[in-house]
Amino acid sequence: MEDPVTATETAQALALSESRTLWELVERRAALTPDRPVLLQEDRVLTFGGLRERAERCAAGLHAMGVRPGTVVAWQLPTRIETAVLSFALARLGAVQTPVIPFYRDKEVGFALREAGAEFFAVPGVWRSFDHTAMAGRLGARGVFPAYLPEDLPDGDPAVLPPPPASGTDVRWIYWTSGTTSDPKGVLHTDRSLLAGGACLAHALRLTAEDVGSMAFPYAHIAGPDYTVMLLLYGFPAVMLEQFALPGSLAEYRRHGVTVAGGSTAFYSMFLAEQRKNPGEPVIPTLRLLAGGGAPKPPEVYHAVRKELGCQLTHGYGMTEVPMITMGDPEDTAENLAGTEGRPPAGMEVRVTADGEIRLRGEAVCRGYLDPAQTAAAFDEDGFLVTGDLGRLTPTGHLVLTGRLKDVIIRKGENISAKEIEDLLHEHPAVGDAAVIGLPDPERGERVCAVVEQPPGAPPLTLEELTGFLRAAGLSVHKLPEQLEVVDALPRNETLRKVLKYKLRERFGAGG
């Protein structure tokens, strides 16, 4: 029999998930449990009521700066309480916000600011030895303001604010994904699509108000609102980690009694590595569940987590365009949790075409892209999003991923465009031709491997030299190749001489 307290919390969460907007959800949760904590960071605690109050004051300060409904505001901020407050302040105003991952640099940031038409840009100043304010100056960004420390956030009297937005179906979010082209794509979301995605995650994981979660990933990732919606629906807190590294971050997990952790396959592997240092001592004594997605999960990782960490592992399938598609159920069988991505929730239609391609339709699906041509190409005649991923549905409705049509490398849950790196490699004088591939990696999900042909007489190329060249060209650090292979000739087909990347994956997949 279901516990009556849990049943009540579940009923509340289901009712809250019908909120029209994210701000309505904040208000409804704050009215229910104003004094419960929602965000924990070091020795700081923000309650649900405090989130509403601080966000409203920040919204008033933004309003005084000229931010109005529909104003495009970009922010490139780390995972901090202030970041969440600013984001919900913008949601309160009905502004269009475009989060940018903090480790993106001039090339990606400049493109995002231009394409979105950002009128304001919130930055953390100097963060992790990089001057974001100086970069904003180089890019000619408009309305640059700091939003890192509590005193940095705009502040004002909420009495001046206009009514909050009533519609949750207007586009108010622009997220960025590398896709299959060298420039990122602006993905258009609404409050309702983000609410639907977060509700899918929340209901699948069977969490309660007694849980303590953790955000060890960039809050600017699509997982940011996904996870925060879950906190608002079920009324429990999460620890925010500005920089995730093990063993250094373990103190925060232990300090706050985290029960739910994860992020992606790379996170699972890192926790396992720490556990193996002291097999008899639980690495996080309160941990009962690892959960995540964003990268392939080998079945052996599931079994290792169950055996060595002594907790459950649920893995899901999502993307920037659809933050939550399927999720494993903690009460499912070991076979399904190890070998599938879980089942789609009610409201998510998954169609697998005759050639095995996965297509999606539902409220959590994005509205398309900033570029209308990309939007037209992304949806089929029935309104299903064409994912480019390959898979199959089992008789029980579980989804099994089998590969990708899209030429994208997923490293630690982040999409990396192979073409972007290849375009830069072709500018190197010692590179005749190049192909960039993703290879299976137990820690990262995939690692980036550059395979190059060298022109006659070119000096031998090293990985250090190659990555230095790419850094100087402005490529973000997380996209740099971790493996270099030099070949006499890249394998090609006989018609259009297209490089056969599958042959390169077969040849070098066991290396590294």
Question: pLDDT digit string (tens) for 212-257?
Answer: 999 999 999 999 999 999 999 999 999 999 999 999 999 999 999 9
3-state DSSP helix/strand/coil percent for the chain, to nearest 5? 35, 25, 40
| pLDDT mean across residues, the chain | 93
Residue 324: closest CA among 302, 368, 353, 293: 293
Q: Please give the distance of CA 396 from its chain centroid, rounded to a whole number.
A: 28
- Residues 455-477 as b or e (16 or more Cβ within 10 Å = b): eeeeeebeeeebbebbeeeebbe
Quick check: 406 and 180 in contact, CB under 8 A? yes
> Could you tell me which residues are beta bridge partners of residue 212?
none
Quick check: 203 and 228 in contact, CB under 8 A? no
Name the DSSP class of 385.
Answer: E
Mean pLDDT of all residues in 48-66: 98
299 conformational bin, left if phi > 0, alpha if psi -120 to 50, beta if neither? alpha
**Spans of all domains in the chain:** 4-195, 409-508
Show the tokens assigned to 281.
Answer: 């001592």
Mean pLDDT of all residues in 484-497: 80
- Tens-place pLDDT, residues 137-149: 999 999 999 999 9
Name the DSSP class of 305.
Answer: I
Mean pLDDT of all residues in 335-347: 94
Q: Are strands 414-417 and 357-362 parallel, antiparallel or unpaired?
A: unpaired
pLDDT score of 123 more than 60: yes
pLDDT score of 496 more than 90: no
Residue 15: closest CA among 235, 314, 226: 235
Task: Pick from 3-17, 106-120, 171-185, 421-435 the range whose average pLDDT is largest.
Answer: 106-120
Rounded distance between C-alpha atoms, residue 262 and residue 302, angstroms: 12
CATH topology of domain 409-508: GMP Synthetase; Chain A, domain 3 (3.30.300)
- Cβ atoms within 10 A of the Cβ of 56, count? 24
- Tens-place pLDDT, residues 390-449: 899 999 999 998 777 777 888 888 888 888 898 899 889 999 889 999 999 988 899 999
pLDDT score of 494 more than 60: no
- Tens-place pLDDT, residues 64-79: 999 999 999 999 999 9
pLDDT at 180: 42
pLDDT score of 296 more than 50: yes
- HEC per residue, 234-295: HCCCEEECCCCCCCCCHHHHHHHCCCEEEECHHHHHHHHHHHCCCCCCCCCCCCCEEEECCC
Q: Please report where in the chains the tokens 């009533």 appear, as a residue.
A: 166
Q: What is the band of 179 on the pLDDT scale with cuts at 50, 70, 90?
A: very low
pLDDT at 227: 94
Q: What is the pTM of this model?
A: 0.84
pLDDT at 295: 72
Show the tokens assigned to 229.
Answer: 């919606």
pLDDT at 512: 46
pLDDT at 293: 87
Domain 4-195 identical in fold to domain 409-508: no
Q: Is the dihedral of CA 233, 238, 243, 246 positive or negative?
A: negative
Quick check: 438 and 446 in contact, CB under 8 A? yes
Residue 301: closest CA among 264, 262, 338, 331: 338
Reply yes or no: is the peptide bond before residue 184 cis, omega within 30 of 0: no
Quick check: 127 and 105 in contact, CB under 8 A? no
pLDDT score of 108 more than 60: yes
Which percentage of the chain shows pLDDT scores above 70?
A: 96
pLDDT score of 181 more than 60: no
Q: Are strands 357-362 and 385-393 parallel, antiparallel or unpaired?
A: antiparallel
- Tens-place pLDDT, residues 79-96: 999 999 999 999 999 999
Q: Please give the distance of CA 252 from its chain centroid, rounded to a whole number.
A: 21
Mean pLDDT of all residues in 38-60: 98
231: helix, strand or coil: helix
- Tens-place pLDDT, residues 363-396: 999 999 999 999 999 999 999 999 998 899 999 9
Quick check: 350 and 342 in contact, CB under 8 A? no
CATH topology of domain 4-195: Rossmann fold (3.40.50)
Q: Based on the number of CB atoms within 10 Å of its own CB, is 389 exposed (0-12), middle (13-18) or buried (19 or more)?
A: buried
Q: Please report where in the chains the tokens 């979660």 appear, as a residue.
A: 213
